[in-house]
Amino acid sequence: MSEFDTLVGLVSQYSPSGQERGAVEMLVAQMKALGYDDAFVDEAGNAVGVMGKGMKQVVLLGHIDTVAGEIKVEQVGNLLYGRGSVDAKGPLASFVDAVAKVGAKDGWQFVVIGAVEEERDSEGARFVAERYKPDFAIVGEPNQWDRIALGYKGSAWANVTVKRGQAHTASGEETAAEAAVEVWLKIKAYVDLFNEDKQKIFDKLLLTLRGMDSDSNDFEQWARLKVGVRLPVEVSPEDWYEILNETLRVSETLRVLIEPVGFAIPAWGC
């Protein structure tokens, strides 16, 4: 067995969110072949491997799904190309092989989890969070190879919709689409001011505009922005949504609706 079998085998299994089963079954089979005491697919569809029976527990969790889009799997020198080789099958394969190499230790139990759906709503991780209470937990995500990260930026998504009554094109009045551009610039101005004295990326608000669309009917016109932000520890998701509400109070002519989307996650430092 090659020292890279786990990594290459896992990367060779195309597994975008919702289509992880082949990769999960491959990883379970690999953990069994490496001598794990138990390896199985749990109720959420995660790949789980257990080594040891001790009372102290270490959970090593990585995600087995990827974003969509196949990349040819090939090795060029000491570089491996393929979807997920970095995010995050590389860390997950490292966990699997490391636990196999360490083996069972008196008083300890190692649980390796290849979680599904991380690139969407993290259903796999949410499932295991209620089932394990480890003494130590390590999450595998892209980082420099020679260090462990001690923090994670939070995230929050929102649809920001600007609505106004229909107006004739000859009126010269601001359209909903034009107002949406102004709304975006207000959000960006707030973020730029917040970040002005911050030296580290970890301490900054990282703002993205991930989509926009607009439409109208006989009586109303609207424009919607899909706004995402990565959060520092000092700004909770609740704080961020309040910032949006405070920043985007506009004229009576326009209505601005802020709709949180998906699961907001606070930042973490330790």
pLDDT score for 172: 67
Strand 56-63 and strand 108-115: pairing? parallel
**Peptide bond preceding 176 in cis form (omega within 30 of 0):** no
pLDDT score for 250: 60
Sign of CA dihedral 216, 179, 166, 251: positive
Of 74-88, 97-111, 164-178, 202-216, least confident by mean pLDDT is: 164-178
* pLDDT for 41 beyond 80: yes
Supply the CATH number for residue 27's domain.
Answer: 3.40.630.10
User: What pTM value is reported for the model?
Assistant: 0.81
> Residue 253's pLDDT band (boundaries 50, 70, 90)?
low
> Residue 150's pLDDT band (boundaries 50, 70, 90)?
confident
Do 85 and 196 have their domain in common? Answer: no
pLDDT score for 23: 97
pLDDT score for 216: 82
CB atoms within 10 A of CB 194: 17
For 218-249, how does the pLDDT look when each residue is reduced to its tens digit (9 = 90+)? 788 999 999 999 999 999 999 999 999 988 87
Do 74 and 111 have their domain in common? Answer: yes
Determine what percent of the chain is predicted with pLDDT higher than 70: 96
Closest by CA to 230, choosing from 157, 161, 171, is 157
Do 108 and 17 have their domain in common? Answer: yes
For residues 155 and 144, give the distance between their C-alpha atoms in angstroms, rounded to a whole number: 21
Do 44 and 169 have their domain in common? Answer: no
DSSP state, residue 156 = E
Residue at a domain's end among 91, 121, 149: 149
> Residue 149's pLDDT band (boundaries 50, 70, 90)?
confident
Do 156 and 253 have their domain in common? Answer: yes
Residue at a domain's end among 149, 174, 192: 149
Half-sphere exposure of 217 (CA within 13 A, CB side): 3
Closest by CA to 84, choosing from 71, 74, 75, 97, is 71
Residue 90 CA, chain-centre distance (Å), reads 16
* pLDDT for 165 beyond 90: no
Note whether 70 and 123 are within 8 A (CB): no
* Number of folded domains that form the chain: 2
pLDDT score for 134: 97
Supply the CATH number for residue 257's domain.
Answer: 3.30.70.360
DSSP state, residue 55 = S
For 89-113, how does the pLDDT look when each residue is reduced to its tens digit (9 = 90+)? 999 999 999 999 999 999 999 999 9
> Residue 1's pLDDT band (boundaries 50, 70, 90)?
low
Q: Give the residue ranges of DSSP H helices in the chain.
A: 5-11, 21-33, 89-102, 123-129, 176-195, 237-247
Q: Which domain does 124 fall in, by range?
A: 5-149
For residues 190 and 247, give the distance between their C-alpha atoms in angstroms, rounded to a whole number: 8
Catalytically annotated residues: 65, 118
Note whether 159 and 259 are within 8 A (CB): yes
> Residue 7's pLDDT band (boundaries 50, 70, 90)?
very high
Do 168 and 203 have their domain in common? Answer: yes
Q: 159 Cβ partners below 8 Å, 6+ apart?
A: 224, 225, 226, 227, 257, 258, 259, 261
Do 232 and 201 have their domain in common? Answer: yes
* pLDDT for 141 beyond 80: yes
